[in-house]
Structure formats: C-alpha cells, structure tokens
C-alpha cells in the first residue's frame, strides 16, 4: 500500500483543507507532516464552517484515524482551543487523534521570540503569522527543542531551562530592534500565558502519544491507506521557496518522508493543489501580483483574507513558471484546481507562461525572483458563466474547458479535480482516461 500526499503548489491557502476532507472517505488514516498553527485550513459542509490549524482535515468523515506527525510543531494551548471547539460541535477526537512523541512543542516564549525576531529585522521582516514557528524549528535544528514525548519525563525542569534561554535571547533581540528604531517585545503577561499553556499540556495528555513512524509503517504493512496533508505551500518551502520569505519547514513532498518516517519508495499519488489565480500573505516577492483594480476584484470575490491572521492576501494572475517548478519538486501526479468560480465574471483571464529576466526569456524558475522579473502573459477569453452551480464537467462552458486544456498542456500534468465553491459538494471529480 502506498502513501498519498496532498500539498499546496503556490504560497499557501490553495484550499488543501477542503480537498483533504473530500478525499478522506478513500483513506484509512489522515496525517499532518509539517508546519503548525500557522496553517488555517477551511472546510465547509452541511452549512457548517470549520478552520483547522494543527488538527488534520480528515476528522469529519467516517471516524478515520488522524495523526499529527513528528515533523509538525505543536502549540498545546492553541491545540486545546481547537480540540475543545470541535468537541463542543460534537467531534470528540480523543480516541482517534494520535500525536507523535517526536513532534516539537511551541513554547509561549517561542511566540515572543517570533515577534522579537521580526522587530529586530525592521523593514526586512518576513511578515510571519506570529505563532512561534521559526523559533521552534530553530530550536529543533540547533538541538535545543522540547518534544511531546518530553512531557512524560521531568518536564518542568526542561521547560524552565528552555524558557530561561529564550528570555536571554529576547533581551538581546530587543536591543537590536530598539537600535533600528523599532519596539522592544514586552514579556508582560507571560505568566498568565504560561499558566494557560500548562493547562494545554495537561489537556494534551488525554490523547494517545505514539511512535508515529512505527504506527504509520505498520498500517502500511497491514494494507491500510494513508493520506498526508501538507500545510503552507511549496513556494514557502525553506529550501526551494522565495527565501528568506518562507516558512521554516520543508513543505514539499519530501517533507512527508522526514515528517512521518515514511520512505520515499512508499509515496504513491502526489496531489498538487493550486488556485486558478495566485495569492500570497506576508512579505516577499510575487512576480504576477496585481496592484490594480483587477487584484482588488479577485480579493473581494475570492474573500482573500487570511484564515489565521485576517490579513489581506495579495492577489495576482496564475504563474505557470512557478507551478512548473513546484510540480517538478514534488513529483506531482495529479493536479487539483481550486476557486475557478472566482474568475467567473472576468471578460478575459491571464496566465504567466514565462519570465523575462534582464531581457532574456525563461520558463525556468530563477534563483531570485526579487527584482527584474517581467511576467509574460497569455490572455484568454473568460467564461462568463456561474461555475459554482456546475455538478459535472459536461456542464462547463467551452471557454473554461479551453482554459483547463491550456493549463494541462503547459503543466504536462492532468487536472483531475476541480473546485467551484467552498462547500464539500462543490467539487468535481473529472473522468479519466
Ligand atoms: P488551505 O490553507 O489551503 O486549506 O486554504 P484556506 O482555507 O486558507 O483558504 C481557502 C479559502 O477558499 C477558504 O476560505 C475556502 O473556504 C475557500 N474555498 C476553497 N475552495 C473554493 C472554491 O473552489 N471556490 C471558492 N469560491 N472558495 C473556495
Ligand atoms: P496554510 O497551511 C499562507 C506565511 C506567512 C509568512 C511566512 C512565514 O493555511 O496554507 P511563519 O509564521 O510560517 O513563520 O510565516 O509564511 N504562511 C502562510 N501563508 N498560508 C499558510 O498556511 C501559511 N503559513 C505561513 O504569512 O509570509
Ligand atoms: Mg490557509
């Protein structure tokens, strides 16, 4: 049995949560393998709406087992809030949500460090979600982190030592921030935050802590099927994204191997998900960004505001140079196109097929996309039809069919699922072969 992976091909918020929920009935186990509560995965069905942050999106369909893998960073306080809200809506997860003992813990001081790092960068700040993601992964790589398994062994002493180290770093970052004319980060309120966080630690203990690499490999051996849910997007990958304006984990398919302990030869289908246009939250380069009323129109129709921070998402046309790159990095076998309905009312739609870099045309994603990139567009006739009501691809207008065919040709990969609205039911599985 193989492990399938679903991940974002752009800068996040492609609609991963919605499609993981749609695909869950085909699987026995759903897992998260990287990222943390910087994610906000939205699901809508039966008139209800949920936004998941650390909990996999496979919890709503048919009592499946969900696993938070070793590659994830977990904030027990935010986890408690999320799990309690779900329990109140009738979704008790204590018996079917497992947590890897090797997942790293986000401490209250990691959040402060995140803010202090940003302040010390001044104008060069990343625009992080402020959830302590970077500092937690930094502690992991510098071999200072605390893991879920540590909760069971002399935890208070380990916690106190980590906190002390963090407070010293925050003091020195504050000096840097002030030197740049910025605000120092205050530690006021840390004790209350700590008290709630410790409550979160106690709450977490109701869930099964597992050696997830063994558990998942045993499931695979027993013929069970696993779906891995990516967070963020490939253009935010720490190695291949628009560095340094990236997140701190490997968001690409290889991250599922390290983030779960699954060998590369166990990976089966790789579902690459993208919007019919492009968005980005936070700072960093975005070659096809639209600063005009077209960008504002996409934002308004697509409700492009962050699920976690409420920040405005920057909007632009679809970037096929970037998509070809992320399809290559991930070994995508099937594409999923989201939010096509947002472009319903446009006379024409554009797609960037190449970049002009210092006067030279290229179809390959360059080392830096910071400056001097002129996107080259192909303009196509819009479909001017309400796609959100379509139930099958036979109902698609010809212009939309042409757009799909154009994308498949450019991307050399089949588009097998199309989403035409936020609801679970507004999903069209295409006929294959
Ligand atoms: P994720 O982080 O990749 O799971 O995506 P988000 O949940 O952050 O952002 C996707 C947003 O688009 C959510 O508000 C979804 O409800 C919404 N959405 C998903 N698919 C569609 C679609 O096909 N059409 C429209 N109009 N909205 C969609
Ligand atoms: P989902 O899973 C969109 C962005 C932040 C910032 C950068 C680094 O919902 O697609 P971080 O807090 O990770 O250190 O921030 O990454 N970012 C996301 N953008 N969707 C996400 O998750 C994101 N998670 C982080 O805005 O630019
Ligand atoms: Mg999101």
Mean pLDDT of 202-217: 98
Mean pLDDT of 193-211: 98
Question: Which residue puts its alpha carbon closest to atom 16 of ligand 1?
Answer: 422
Q: How far is the CA of 15 from the centre of ligand 1 (A)?
A: 4
Does residue 422's CB lie within 6 angstroms of at least one atom of ligand 1?
yes
CB burial of residue 424 (10 Å; 0-12, 13-18, 19+): middle
> Is the pLDDT score of 80 beyond 60?
yes
Segment 326-347, tens digit of pLDDT: 999 999 999 999 999 999 999 9
Please confirm, yes or no, whether 13 is among the known catalytic residues: yes
Please confirm, yes or no, whether 41 is among the known catalytic residues: yes
Does residue 16's CB lie within 6 angstroms of at least one atom of ligand 1?
yes
Does residue 426's CB lie within 6 angstroms of at least one atom of ligand 2?
no
Question: Which residue puts its alpha carbon closest to atom 15 of ligand 2?
Answer: 128
Lowest mean pLDDT among 41-50, 52-61, 136-145, 177-186: 177-186
* pLDDT at 65 (0 to 100): 98
* pLDDT at 59 (0 to 100): 97
Strands 48-52 and 97-100, by their bridges, are unpaired
Does residue 128's CB lie within 6 angstroms of at least one atom of ligand 2?
yes
> Is the pLDDT score of 370 beyond 80?
yes
* pLDDT at 433 (0 to 100): 56
Catalytic residue among 4, 21, 41, 104: 41
* pLDDT at 307 (0 to 100): 74
Atom of ligand 1 nearest to the CA of 39: 2
Segment 262-313, tens digit of pLDDT: 999 999 999 999 999 999 999 999 999 999 999 999 999 999 998 777 889 9
210 with 204: CB under 8 angstroms?
Answer: no
> Is the pLDDT score of 392 beyond 90?
yes
> Is the pLDDT score of 27 beyond 80?
yes
Candidates 13, 135, 236: which one to mutate for ligand 2, based on the most atoms within 8 Å of Cβ? 236
> Is the pLDDT score of 195 beyond 90?
yes
Three-state secondary structure string covering the chain: CCEEEEEECCCCCCCHHHHHHHHHHHCCEEEECCECCCCCEEEEECCEEEEECCCCCCCCCCCCEEEECCCEEECHHHHHHHHHHHHHCCCCCCCCEEEECCCEECCHHHHHHHHHHHHHHHHHCCCCCCCCHHHHHHHHHCCCCCEHHHHHCCHHHHHHHHHHHHHHHHHHHHHHHHHCCCCCCCCCCHHHHHHHHHHHHHHHCCCEEECHHHHHHHHHHCCCCEEEECCCCHHHCCCCCCCCCCCCCCCCCHHHHHCCCCCHHHEEEEEEEEECCEEECCCCCCCCECCCHHHHHHHHHCCCECCCCCCECEEECEEHHHHHHHHHHHCCCEEEEECHHHHCCCCEEEEEEEEEECCEEECCCCCCCCCCEEEEEEEEECCCCCHHHCCCHHHCCHHHHHHHHHHHHHHCCCEEEEECCCECCCEEECCCC
């Amino acid at each position: 049995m193989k492990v399938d992976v679903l991940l974002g091909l752009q800068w996040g918020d492609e609609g991963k949560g919605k499609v993981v929920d749609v695909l869950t009935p085909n699987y026995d186990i759903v897992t998260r393998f990287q990222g943390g509560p910087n994610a906000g995965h939205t699901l809508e069905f039966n008139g209800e709406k949920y936004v998941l942050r650390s909990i996999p999106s496979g919890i709503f369909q048919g009592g499946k087992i969900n696993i938070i893998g070793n590659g994830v960073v977990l904030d027990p306080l935010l986890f408690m809030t999320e799990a309690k809200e779900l329990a109140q809506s009738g979704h008790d997860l204590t018996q079917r949500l497992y947590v890897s003992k090797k997942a790293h813990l986000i401490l209250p001081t990691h959040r402060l460090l995140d803010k202090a790092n940003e302040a010390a960068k001044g104008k060069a700040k990343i625009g992080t979600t402020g959830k302590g993601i970077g500092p937690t992964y930094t502690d992991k790589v510098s071999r200072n982190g605390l893991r879920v398994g540590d909760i069971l062994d002399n935890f208070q002493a380990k916690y106190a030592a980590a906190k002390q180290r963090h407070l010293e770093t925050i003091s020195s970052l504050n000096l840097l921030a002030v030197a740049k004319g910025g605000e120092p980060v205050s530690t006021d309120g840390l004790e209350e935050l700590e008290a709630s966080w410790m409550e979160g630690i106690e709450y977490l203990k109701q869930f099964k802590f597992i050696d997830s690499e063994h558990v998942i490999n045993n499931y695979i051996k027993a013929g069970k099927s696993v779906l891995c849910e990516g967070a963020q997007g490939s253009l935010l990958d720490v190695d291949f994204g628009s560095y340094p304006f990236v997140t701190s984990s490997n968001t690409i398919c290889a991250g599922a191997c390290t983030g779960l302990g699954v060998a590369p030869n166990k990976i089966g289908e790789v579902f690459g998900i993208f919007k019919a246009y492009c968005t980005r939250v936070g700072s960093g380069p975005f070659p096809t960004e639209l600063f005009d009323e077209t960008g504002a129109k996409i934002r308004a129709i697509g409700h492009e505001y962050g699920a976690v921070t409420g920040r405005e998402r920057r909007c632009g046309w679809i970037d096929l140079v970037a998509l070809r790159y992320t399809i290559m990095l991930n070994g995508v076998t099937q594409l999923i196109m989201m939010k096509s309905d947002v472009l319903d009312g446009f006379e024409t739609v554009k797609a960037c097929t190449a970049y002009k870099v210092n006067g030279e045309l290229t179809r390959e994603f360059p080392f830096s996309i910071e400056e001097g990139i002129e996107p080259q567009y192909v303009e196509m006739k819009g479909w001017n039809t309400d796609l959100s009501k379509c139930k099958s691809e036979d109902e698609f207008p010809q212009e939309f069919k042409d757009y799909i065919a154009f994308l498949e040709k450019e991307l050399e990969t089949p588009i097998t699922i199309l989403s035409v609205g936020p609801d679970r039911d507004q999903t069209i599985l295409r006929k294959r072969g």
